[in-house]
Amino acid sequence: MTALTSQSPAAPPDAAPAVRRRRGRPQVGSHLTMLLATVVLGAPLVWMALASLKTSEELYRRPLQWLPGQVSFDNYAQAAATVPLGQLLANSVGLTVAGAGLKVLLGLCCAYALVFLDFPGKKVVFGIVIATLMIPPQITIIPNYTLVASLGWLNTYQGILVPGLASAFGTFLFRQHFLTLPRSILEAAELDGAGHWRKLWRFVVPMSAPTLAAVALVSVVAEWNDYLWPFLVVDDPAKMTLPVGLTLLQNIDGMTSWGVLLAATVVVTLPILLVFLVLQRRLVAGLTAGAVTG
Amino acid sequence: MTTVITPDADAVPAASRPPGDRPRPPAPRRPATRRSSARRRRRALWWALLLAGPNVLLLLVFTYRPLVESFYLSTLQWNLGAPSARFVGLGNYVEWFAAPTTGRVVTTTVVFTVATVGGALVLGLGLALLLNRRLVGRTVARTVAFAPYVLSGFAVGILWLFIFDPRYGLLQELLGRVGLSSPAWYTERPWPLVMVIVVYLWKNLGYVALIYLAGLQSVPQDLRDAAALDGASPARTLRSVVLPLLTPTTFFLLVTMLLASLQSFDIIKAMTQGGPLGSTTTLMYSIYEEGFVNGRAGYASAVATILFVSLLVVTAVQLRYVQRKVHYA
């Protein structure tokens, strides 16, 4: 009530204040609710980071110890001693960069053909790409596993990478964007003697930076977090990605050493969390693009 | 600036030009344009093959071929990696429908899907309505809420397993503070399923909220103001103005969240491995278990086909019946 009376002198004397005031009143409650939601949603990640820095004596103390007594990286060292953490990180980075890069390239080229080229069967090609969005990749795991095994690709990087390379979502987003590009620029480029290759790289790509960034970031997140397929194809620790290596660690250490397991969990989640925090706007634009176009 | 128009033939890379198709001396006007447009068409086809070919080829080999092969494999009694297989027709399907575990798997799948999709939609909408107000620090809240969505499901599962730990977890401590004892999250039904659902909700809530936020931006403020001036309570405005205008967003989320939920694997693998006693084994998880743990690839292919068909049916039903109720502003 005090908030109400202190507010009224400043309010202009027309019909608006009634609405304003009604909307102004629950703000304290809203702020508290939002604060609570933020704490509840954010706490698990903070808890993970804190726990990974505690000694096991601190982790298993009751009642619970909230903060690590002194920051200790023992859990990380022990995780690295149990599984080849450096190698896993290198594998994950390499496969993510290669996978996302190739995915963007494939989608970009395919969308260029679908928008700027006239060729027989164009509608069929578009249909093939779009229908893929309806086919859950999980349905394909058994036949793809047998194919990859018969190629001798189990426990290889190409075995992890190649089956997931084709880009339906990226192609679709690029196509949507290309349709909005001014045709006149490309026609002028053509009159100047630019071939398709040059038109793609000198004209279309520079005009598509936000879409490129969005598709690339979505692919990076998907490749980094991908679990089921690499888990099935690889059991050699030297070829594992980080999430699969975490499974190995879980199987070795079980639930006996939470500190070690959580240290590895931090290694899996922190890089992508940093990418998210730095490039949030572009990433969110990509992840939510389906809602706007669909 | 003068534009130099290069003859068409010169623009064609030598490699892509068919042999014997050398540039010819100028011919009478009409045939020349026709021939050059034919050449242009052929050139476009080459470029299409080069640019779209790899992507389409990969889709055919790694998505469409396995889809068809999966139907075929589902008619075989075949163990993963075995050199020979026996044709059993619809035997695997008959076995699935008759299996004593099928009812449990279907129930678990339905409970998991309804709870995760329904929960994410309701909580996500609530969060979006909250973040749509001009609150101090709402950007931070939005970032915190969305962050779990970009993280590895497997890693997130491990993290929450620790939080749920009945002896050393954060949750038992907090429950203890308010005088409650921790349920046996890991072992006693229905808690393992509840646990998995909570984690799935936590991971996807921010995404739903963000999509709803985008939808809310398109609800005109004057409509809400008009409703408020007419004396509608905030709850009434929400029900009669905002929610109807959000139906396209809700419909989109319903379709995508259902597909994602029915395919979820990594959180379950990290937290419960489908157990205890199969109480968290969904249809998706049972494909993995039958195919790769028990090695019954033919049977698992039949389960995969059943999952695929139910996805198609669910989506078709949504397109047919739910979309009718969608209001486009």
Examine the pLDDT at A96 and tell me if it is beyond 60: yes
* A69 in a structural domain: no
Q: How many residues does chain A have?
A: 294
Examine the pLDDT at B17 and tell me if it is beyond 60: no
Q: Which of A11-20, B81-90, B274-283 is predicted least confidently?
A: A11-20
Question: B-chain residues within 8 Å CB-CB of A134?
Answer: 312, 315
Number of DSSP helices (H) and strands (E) in chain A, helices first: 18, 0
| pLDDT band, residue B15 (cuts 50/70/90) | very low
Residue B99: phi, psi to the nearest 5? -65, 140
Largest CA-CA distance found in chain A, in angstroms, rounded: 80
Instruction: Indicate if A126 and A272 belong to the same structural domain.
Output: yes
Nearest CA-CA distance, residue B285 and chain A, Å: 10
Largest CA-CA distance found in chain B, in angstroms, rounded: 97
Q: Pick the residue with more confidence: B327 or B288?
A: B288
Instruction: Indicate if A211 and A107 belong to the same structural domain.
Output: yes
pLDDT at A97: 96
Other Cβ atoms less than 10 A from the Cβ of B329: the count is: 12
| Average pLDDT for chain B | 85
pLDDT at A188: 87
pLDDT at A291: 59
Instruction: Indicate if B197 and B144 belong to the same structural domain.
Output: yes
Nearest CA-CA distance, residue A90 and chain B, Å: 17
| CB–CB contact A113 B51 (8 Å) | yes
Q: Pick the residue with more confidence: B286 or A64?
A: B286
Q: Tokens in use for B75?
A: 């008619």
Residue A41: phi, psi to the nearest 5? -75, -30
Instruction: Indicate if A10 and A112 belong to the same structural domain.
Output: no
Examine the pLDDT at A254 and tell me if it is beyond 70: no
Q: How many residues does chain B have?
A: 329
Range of the domain at A216: 78-293
Instruction: Indicate if B256 and B319 belong to the same structural domain.
Output: yes
Residue A105: phi, psi to the nearest 5? -60, -45
* B2 in a structural domain: no
pLDDT at A90: 96
User: With contact defined as beta carbons under 8 Å apart, do B209 and B131 qualify?
Assistant: yes
pLDDT at A9: 40
Instruction: Indicate if B197 and B250 belong to the same structural domain.
Output: yes
Question: A-chain residues within 8 Å CB-CB of B207?
Answer: 287-288
| pLDDT band, residue A58 (cuts 50/70/90) | confident
Q: Which of A31-40, A65-74, B120-129, B270-279 is predicted least confidently?
A: A65-74
Other Cβ atoms less than 10 A from the Cβ of A149: the count is: 15
Instruction: Indicate if B147 and B46 belong to the same structural domain.
Output: no
Q: Pick the residue with more confidence: B275 or A176?
A: A176
DSSP state, residue A10: G
User: With contact defined as beta carbons under 8 Å apart, do B206 and B150 qualify?
Assistant: no
* A255 in a structural domain: yes
pLDDT at B83: 86
Instruction: Indicate if B191 and B316 belong to the same structural domain.
Output: yes
Mutation target vs A (from B43, B61, B158; most A CBs, 10 A cutoff): B158
Range of the domain at B60: 26-73
pLDDT at A185: 84
Instruction: Indicate if A155 and A18 belong to the same structural domain.
Output: no
Say how far apart CA A89 and CA A95 lie, in whole Å: 10
By CB atoms closer than 10 A (0-12, 13-18, 19+), residue A8 is: exposed
Nearest CA-CA distance, residue B277 and chain A, Å: 19
| CB–CB contact B63 A140 (8 Å) | yes
Q: Give one DSSP letter per residue of A214-225, joined into a string.
A: HHHHHHHHHHHH
* A70 in a structural domain: no
* B192 in a structural domain: yes
Per the DSSP assignment, residues forming a β-bridge with B76 are B87
Mean pLDDT to the nearest integer, A178-205: 87
Beta-strand runs (E) in chain B: 76-77, 86-87
Instruction: Indicate if A46 and A108 belong to the same structural domain.
Output: no
CA separation (Å) from B158 to A58, B132, B218? 19, 32, 38
pLDDT in tens, A203-243: 899 999 989 998 999 999 999 999 999 999 999 999 999 99
Q: Give one DSSP letter per residue of B159-220, joined into a string.
A: HHHHHH-TTT-HHHHHHHHTT-PPP-TTTSTTHHHHHHHHHHHHHHHHHHHHHHHHHHHTS-
Instruction: Give the residue from B149, B266, B271 showing the smallest Cα distance to A242.
Output: B266
Residue A118: phi, psi to the nearest 5? -105, 120
pLDDT at B314: 86
Mean pLDDT to the nearest integer, A170-188: 89
* B233 in a structural domain: yes
Total domains present in chain A: 2
* A59 in a structural domain: no
Say how far apart CA B206 and CA B209 lie, in whole Å: 5
Q: Map residue B259 onto helix, strand or coil.
A: helix
Instruction: Indicate if B176 and B150 belong to the same structural domain.
Output: yes
Mean pLDDT to the nearest integer, A146-161: 95
Amino acid in position B22 = R
Question: A-chain residues within 8 Å CB-CB of B129?
Answer: none
Residue whose structure tokens are 């069929």: A124
Q: Map residue A227 onto helix, strand or coil.
A: coil
Nearest CA-CA distance, residue B181 and chain A, Å: 14
* B139 in a structural domain: yes
Q: CA B264, B266, B267, B270 torsion: positive or negative?
A: positive
A107: domain CATH number? 1.10.3720.10
Amino acid in position B311 = L
Nearest CA in chain B to A164: B62
Q: Which of A53-57, A85-89, A174-178, B297-301 is predicted least confidently?
A: A53-57
Q: Map residue B77 onto helix, strand or coil.
A: strand
Q: Tokens in use for A187?
A: 């026609």
pLDDT at B9: 37
CA separation (Å) from A62 to A65, A66, A275? 7, 11, 36
pLDDT in tens, B112-170: 999 999 999 999 999 999 998 888 888 999 999 999 999 999 999 999 999 999 888 89
pLDDT at A4: 36
Q: Which of A58-72, A237-251, B300-314 is predicted least confidently?
A: A58-72
Instruction: Give the residue from B202, B193, B209, B120 showing the smallest Cα distance to B160.
Output: B202
Instruction: Indicate if B57 and B102 belong to the same structural domain.
Output: no
Say how far apart CA B287 and CA B105 lie, in whole Å: 11
Total domains present in chain B: 2
Amino acid in position B268 = I
* A65 in a structural domain: no
Q: Tokens in use for B276?
A: 């205890």
pLDDT at A290: 62
pLDDT at A101: 96
Instruction: Indicate if B172 and B220 belong to the same structural domain.
Output: yes
| CB–CB contact A247 B155 (8 Å) | no
Instruction: Indicate if B153 and B285 belong to the same structural domain.
Output: yes
Instruction: Indicate if A9 and A119 belong to the same structural domain.
Output: no
Core vs surface per residue A47-63: b (16+ CB within 10 A) or e: bbbbbbbbbbebbbeee
Instruction: Indicate if B57 and B167 belong to the same structural domain.
Output: no
By CB atoms closer than 10 A (0-12, 13-18, 19+), residue B126 is: middle
| pLDDT band, residue B223 (cuts 50/70/90) | confident
pLDDT in tens, B23-75: 444 444 455 556 678 888 888 889 999 999 999 999 999 999 999 999 999 99
Residue at which a domain ends, from B73, B103, B134: B73
Examine the pLDDT at B305 and tell me if it is beyond 80: yes
User: With contact defined as beta carbons under 8 Å apart, do B264 and B153 qualify?
Assistant: yes
B298: domain CATH number? 1.10.3720.10
Instruction: Indicate if A22 and A110 belong to the same structural domain.
Output: no
Q: Which of A245-259, A271-285, B107-121, B124-138 is predicted least confidently?
A: A245-259
* B128 in a structural domain: yes
Core vs surface per residue A208-221: b (16+ CB within 10 A) or e: beebbbbbbbbbbb
| CB–CB contact B252 A290 (8 Å) | yes
* A35 in a structural domain: yes
Q: Pick the residue with more confidence: A137 or A26?
A: A137
By CB atoms closer than 10 A (0-12, 13-18, 19+), residue B159 is: buried
Share of chain B above pLDDT 70, in %: 87
Q: Pick the residue with more confidence: A255 or B24?
A: A255
Instruction: Indicate if A272 and A198 belong to the same structural domain.
Output: yes
* B10 in a structural domain: no
Instruction: Indicate if A174 and A246 belong to the same structural domain.
Output: yes
Mean pLDDT to the nearest integer, A111-122: 90
* B38 in a structural domain: yes
Residue at which a domain ends, from A13, A37, A52: A52
Q: Tokens in use for A139?
A: 């349905």
Examine the pLDDT at A98 and tell me if it is beyond 70: yes
CA separation (Å) from B161 to A255, A261, B116, B195, B271? 9, 11, 18, 9, 6
Instruction: Indicate if A205 and A166 belong to the same structural domain.
Output: yes
Instruction: Indicate if A126 and A191 belong to the same structural domain.
Output: yes
Say how far apart CA A170 and CA A216 lie, in whole Å: 9
Instruction: Indicate if B183 and B49 belong to the same structural domain.
Output: no
In sequence order, the 6+-apart residues with CB closer than 8 A to the CB of B104 are B278, B279, B281
Examine the pLDDT at B20 and tell me if it is beyond 70: no
Instruction: Give the residue from A92, A228, A253, A273 showing the smallest Cα distance to B267.
Output: A228
| CB–CB contact B45 A119 (8 Å) | yes
Nearest CA-CA distance, residue A197 and chain B, Å: 9
Q: Which of A62, A193, A200 sits opposite B11 (nearest CB)?
A: A193
Q: Which of B63, B151, B256 sits opposite A273 (nearest CB)?
A: B151
* A64 in a structural domain: no
Instruction: Indicate if A88 and A224 belong to the same structural domain.
Output: yes
Say how far apart CA B53 and CA A114 lie, in whole Å: 11
Mean pLDDT to the nearest integer, B286-293: 94
* B39 in a structural domain: yes
Instruction: Indicate if B69 and B96 belong to the same structural domain.
Output: no
Say how far apart CA A197 and CA A204 lie, in whole Å: 10
Question: B-chain residues within 8 Å CB-CB of A15?
Answer: 229
* A57 in a structural domain: no
Say how far apart CA B80 and CA A5 lie, in whole Å: 76
